[in-house]
Structure 1
Amino acid sequence: MTLAVATKSKRSSRRALTVAIASLLGATLFWAGNYVVGAGAVESIDPLSLVLLRWSLALVPLLAIAHVVERPHWRQVLAAWPWLIALSVFGLLGYNLLLYTALEHTDAFSASLINAFNPALITLAAAAFLRERLTRRAVGGVLIALAGVLLVLSNGDLDKLLHAGFGTGELFMIGAIAAWSAYTITGRLAPPLPPITATAMQAGITVAVLTPLSFAAGGPALPPTQGAIISLAFIALFPSVMSYLLWNRALTVIPAGKAGVFLNLITVFTAFFTILAGHPYSMAQITGGGIVIAGILLTGARGHRAGSWPFSRRRRQPGNLEP
């Protein structure tokens, strides 16, 4: 290989890496937007309707993109229907329904801080259900992250938390990360499927399940204002479609385990949006969030065997991404 060819190859690799990093930043930015915009959307759209409308609007573009980009063998995909149903119930349906319900009772920043504990919870779930080995570093990281979460939940007053317990929003958010942990563990056991295709199928199942439930409850609540319409359009397009495309594009260049570290930016971006919008925040939230992220980074720093992160499997995940 000549010097000119080698130099050109290096430039191409650097350019690809730059694009991949930008893609990860875009994906996490849009997922952070799901918290901030979702908190506003639930003021006029109930959580069940919001989940139904979100995936109804995202379904067609996801199917079209999956067909063009991944060219899946649809019979093979449909053969995995029991796994797809389970993934849909835990993830696209369960997690999002619990998340949006939580956002009716707590602010987006607090919800994202609790969500930041999810990788640590997944590590514990993988040890319990997949028999993955935990090291002292991993245990220490989980305990540090848990301390940060408790600081956030108590707003710096642990004694008050012991006497008053968790708030409604915090309880729903804890349920949300438990649902996502179940989604991740199920995804590791499921047969490998192209991620965008699997996400599209799960979106279809979510719509099929929620549609009769919504009409039984009086029908889906359509966005009543222009602001609500814009919020719904943002949620359906960017966190539901664009983030998945950007994330999967980045994974063609950056190893999945390293890409998973970027998920901590969801909390960082949400904090930035919160401060920028002038919403109130406390030092306990900032400090607790920093402690959670530090614990998660410690947990992921060779603290467990390859595969404990939800994005570090050797085979492709069935759409196992942050929603």
Structure 2
Amino acid sequence: MNHKLSPSTALLLTVPPVLWAGNAIAGRLLRDAVPPMTLNLLRWSLALLIVLPLARAVFAPGSGLWSNWRRFGMLGLLGIGLYNSLQYLALRTSTPINVTLVAASMPVWMMLVGLLFFRMQVRARQVAGAALSIAGVLLVLSRGDPAVLQSLRLVPGDLYMIAASIAWAFYTWLLLQPGDPPAIRADWAAFMFAQVLYGVAWSGLFTAAEWALVPVRIEFGWTLVLGLLYVAVGPAVVALRCWGAGVQRAGPNVAAFFSNLTPLFAALLSSAFLGEAPQLYHAGAFGLIVAGIVLSSRR
């Protein structure tokens, strides 16, 4: 693994945060056109069709796609079904800036999940970094007003995003566990296809429950079509591929700094497309979260 950060590697690691920030903007723009669970199902169904021609390894005899259904089913549930559905649900009541800032606390949840469920050793530096990141999240949730924390009035979308971050933490730790079939693990498209296939199945169940429990209305039009194409091609396929290639070149510690660029890009895109100007507390929260990530990731 080459840990030198070349310009091409920096570009690979910058593309995903831009696309993920755009995903938050698109989810906000489409919130009145399609329900969140339905949006997630449509997004990943399109992504599955895009990856399908590249994932020939999953159709080889003995590939392990079906015999390892428990593992891929859990990865699909946590990474595709729960995380993305909860994010789109969060965007119905919270802003893209807040959603991406709360999601930037994900390393905190990864540390806690690793400590409690995967026997990871936690050092004092990591705890200090986690404290800074939590302070940043509290600053977002309080909207910069400490009195808000006393009343404990949280926007539902913020809570949904915290739940989504915890789901993603479990997903990330499970990715590190051994047991993947060699034919699938060695092929990025096959590995992505295996997860997305089961994730689409979970998303279908969530969508069926959504249609059964709440009135569903879909506004068909070019906004919905273009939005679906973007979230399926960009944040779902291109971002994951660039991220994987960038991590292989630079390593996960360097890549972690780039992942937290997402709130900054979300703030810029929100100002451009939604007229939601960033506030001073957003900058303070972003600084605290990045400081926590830097401190906890240092050796």
Same fold, TM exceeding 0.5? yes
| Cross-structure match for 2:286 | 289
Distance 1:267 1:190, change over 3 A: farther
SS of the counterpart of 2:267?
helix
Gaps of 5+ in 2: none
SS of the counterpart of 2:249?
coil
What pairs up with 1:217-232 in 2 under 5 angstroms? 217=211, 224-232=220-228
- With normalisation by structure 2, the TM-score equals 0.87
Matches of 1:86 and 1:99, distance apart in 2: 18
What pairs up with 1:178-197 in 2 under 5 angstroms? 178-192=166-180, 193-194=185-186, 195-197=188-190
How far does residue 112 in structure 1 lie from its aligned partner after superposition? 0.3
How far does residue 41 in structure 1 lie from its aligned partner after superposition? 1.5
| Cross-structure match for 2:197 | 204
Partner amino acid for 1:245? R
SS of the counterpart of 1:78?
coil
RMSD: 2.5
2:80, 2:200 within 8 Å by CA — same for their partners in 1? no
SS of the counterpart of 1:208?
helix
2:47, 2:236 within 8 Å by CA — same for their partners in 1? yes
Q: Quick one: which of 25, 36, 41 aligns to 1:36? A: 25
Distance 1:61 1:235, change over 3 A: same
Matches of 2:252 and 2:59, distance apart in 1: 22
SS of the counterpart of 2:66?
helix
**How many residues end up aligned between the 2 structures?**
288
Distance 1:100 1:213, change over 3 A: closer
The yes-or-no answer on 1:253 pairing with 2:268 is: no
Gaps of 5+ in 1: 1-12, 303-323
1:49, 1:220 within 8 Å by CA — same for their partners in 2? no
1:27, 1:246 within 8 Å by CA — same for their partners in 2? yes
2:35, 2:218 within 8 Å by CA — same for their partners in 1? no
1:84, 1:198 within 8 Å by CA — same for their partners in 2? no
| Cross-structure match for 2:46 | 57
Sequence identity (%): 27
How far does residue 23 in structure 1 lie from its aligned partner after superposition? 1.5
Matches of 1:135 and 1:279, distance apart in 2: 39
Tell me which structure has the larger Cα radius of gyration.
1
| Cross-structure match for 1:149 | 137
Matches of 1:18 and 1:71, distance apart in 2: 37
How far does residue 74 in structure 1 lie from its aligned partner after superposition? 5.7
How far does residue 110 in structure 1 lie from its aligned partner after superposition? 0.3
What pairs up with 1:86-165 in 2 under 5 angstroms? 86-165=74-153
Matches of 2:132 and 2:223, distance apart in 1: 40
Matches of 1:57 and 1:74, distance apart in 2: 26
How far does residue 206 in structure 1 lie from its aligned partner after superposition? 2.3
How far does residue 78 in structure 1 lie from its aligned partner after superposition? 3.3
